Amino acid sequence: MYLAQGILKYLDDEKVGKKAIILIEQDLVKYYLKLIPKWFKVKEQKFDAHITVVRHEKHVKNFEEWGEYENEIIEFTYSNIINWDDKYYWMTVYCDRISEIRAGLDMTTYPDYHLTIGNTK
């Protein structure tokens, strides 16, 4: 497991409305993307490197804490094992703080999250 950090941002997205992400250093994703053999034809994500905290505002049941932690530095651990399916390549992320933020918004929490490093779309 490896330790890293990012900055929590609350955004308005035209397609999904409000969302919350942890922005992380792009170099982290680029490093792991380079470890995937070229013949897999994995492309960089079109979005900046991030971990999603809230993807769609429709899942938020309590907006009282929305925006409260803007610019908070969030530490997380991640596994350097690259997972994949038919479209995406990602690494597993563990972060109790993400679960705390989601719980404050009355959302489902999970034991782990993910950091997408590329796709084959």
- Please write the tens of the pLDDT for every residue from 45-70: 888 999 999 987 767 888 888 899 99
Residue with tokens 């479209």: 87
pTM surpassing 0.75?
A: yes
Question: Could you list the residue range(s) of the whole structural domain that residue 56 is in?
Answer: 2-119
Instruction: State the total domains in the chain.
Output: 1
Per residue in 4-18, pLDDT (tens digit) is 999 999 988 777 678
